[in-house]
Amino acid sequence: MRDNQRLLEDKVTDMTHNGTVDINKNENLNQRKLVLHFDIRNTLIVADTVTSITVEQALNAYLTGVLWGRASENNQWEWKSKAPSLNAPEPVKRMIVKTPVDRTKLRLTVGDFVGTEVGSSFDIYYHNNLRKLEWNHKKVDPKLTLHGNKGKHYHYILPAVYRLIQYLSDTGRDFNIIIRTYGLDCENVLHSLDHALKSKSHPAFPHLPDMNLHRKSGRILRHGNQVTVEQMADKETVERRLENADDIYKFMSEFEGVCGFRDDFEFWQNHDYKHSCAKPLWIDPSDSSCQHIIFDDNYRPHHADSIVDIRERDQNGRWTSLDSVQLDKYDQSCLVQVDLLEAINNENYYIDKVIHCETKYDNILQSRKV
C-alpha cells in the first residue's frame, strides 16, 4: 500500500488547474469503486441559493462554530481559541450554540460576527477565506457563482470539489457522488454541477468528465429503524422506492454518476439529534469492490449528536446500527468531518482526504483477512 499511496500523492502533485494527469502510470492503483456521499452546506458550498443568507454572513456564522471560549466569573467572554478549530482546546462550550429550530435566523444573528468587538480579533480568518472564495474569472457564470456584498461574486460550489472530480476522472477511477442534505438546496446544487460537467464552462476546470446526473432530488425517510429511499422522477412521482437495506446498498454502490437525496431532518430532531437517528450510511466490509465515504461538517467523532448513522452488514447478512464506540473504526476511512476553512484554502483537500480514507480502509479490509 505504501507504493500505491506514493503514486496517488505524486499524481496530486502533478495536477494543474487546466491539465490532466497521465493515467498510464496508474496500473497498480487500487480500483475499488468510490461512493462519495457529500453534505451540502459547509461541505460543498458556503451559502445556499434558497435563503437570503449571503456568503459573507454564512462565513461569519461558520466561524462562530469553530471558535471556542467561555463566560468568566464576571460574565465576560474569554476566548480559549487562538485560531479556528473543529475541536475545543479544552472542555468548553461554543460561544454560539447552533439551534436547528431556526438555523436561518441564527446565521443572520451571527452574520456580522467579525464586525463586533468580541469577534474582531478573528477578522483576518474571515477576510483571508472570503478572498479565497472570490470568483476571479472574467466571465461571471450565474450558474456557478453567488452574488455577495459590494458587487462581489463568489464560487457557489467549492473548487476543491471540482478538483476531486477532475482528479478521479484523470486517474481512471470508478466513482459516483451522492449528495446527502437536510437542507433545501439539493436540486440547485445538482443543476450547478450538471452545468459545469456538461457545458465544460468552468474556466478553472474545462476538462471535467461528462457524468450522468439525476437532476431531481430524492428522499430518505425514517420510521423507527426502517429506512425508505425514494428516487424521484419529478416533484411528486416516485421513480424508485427501496426499503430493503441490501437493495439500498446495492443501488447506492452501483449507481453511475451524480444524484442527491434530502434526508429526514425531522426524525433526527424529534429524537434529540441522536446519531442513530441521523443520516444512514450503509457499509458492507465484506464487499471489497467499493468503499462508501461520507463528508459532512456535522459528523463529530464520539459525539452522541453526530449526524451519521452507520449501518454495518455483519457476516450473517444483518444490518446493525453501530454505537459511537463501534463506529470509531470507520473514522477517517468512511467518515470525514469536513473542515470548511481547509477546504476553501486547499484545492486538494478532498483528494487528500480520499487518499487517506482509502489507505485506512485497506487496513480494515486486511485485518478481516487475518
Q: Are 343 and 350 in contact (CB under 8 A)?
A: yes
Mean pLDDT of the chain: 87
pLDDT 10s digits, 271-314: 999 999 999 999 999 999 999 999 999 999 888 889 999 999 99
pLDDT at 18 over 90: no
Per-residue pLDDT band at 90 (split at 50, 70, 90):
low
Name the more confident of 223 and 20: 223
Burial of residue 262 (CB within 10 Å: 0-12, 13-18, 19+) is: buried
Q: 253 φ, ψ to 5°?
A: -75, -35
What is the mean pLDDT of the segment spanning 69-77? 74
| pLDDT the model gives residue 231 | 97
Q: Are 282 and 245 in contact (CB under 8 A)?
A: yes
Take residue 17 and report the three cell numbers written for it: 488547474
Per-residue pLDDT band at 232 (split at 50, 70, 90):
very high
Going from the C-alpha of 323 to that of each of 275, 292, 311, 326, the distances in angstroms are: 8, 18, 10, 5
pLDDT at 155 over 60: yes
Give the Cα separation of 103 and 346 in Å (integer).
27
Q: Are strands 238-242 and 257-262 parallel, antiparallel or unpaired?
A: unpaired
| pLDDT the model gives residue 370 | 58
What is the mean pLDDT of the segment spanning 91-120? 56
pTM above 0.85, yes or no: yes
Q: What is the DSSP letter of 329?
A: G
Give the Cα separation of 299 and 269 in Å (integer).
15
What is the mean pLDDT of the segment spanning 57-86? 84
pLDDT 10s digits, 326-369: 999 999 999 999 999 999 999 999 999 999 999 999 999 988 77
CA dihedral 170, 173, 178, 183 (to 10 degrees): -40
Q: Are 41 and 17 in contact (CB under 8 A)?
A: no
Per-residue pLDDT band at 163 (split at 50, 70, 90):
very high
pLDDT at 118 over 60: yes
Take residue 314 and report the three cell numbers written for it: 455483519
CA dihedral 276, 278, 280, 281 (to 10 degrees): -90
In the block, residue with C-alpha cell 465544460: 200
What is the mean pLDDT of the segment spanning 44-64? 92
Going from the C-alpha of 89 to that of each of 44, 297, 301, 369, the distances in angstroms are: 27, 18, 16, 39
Mind giving me the DSSP string for 50-102?
SSS--HHHHHHHHHHHS-EEEE-TTS-EEE--SS--SS-SSS-EESS---GGG
Give the Cα separation of 3 and 29 in Å (integer).
9
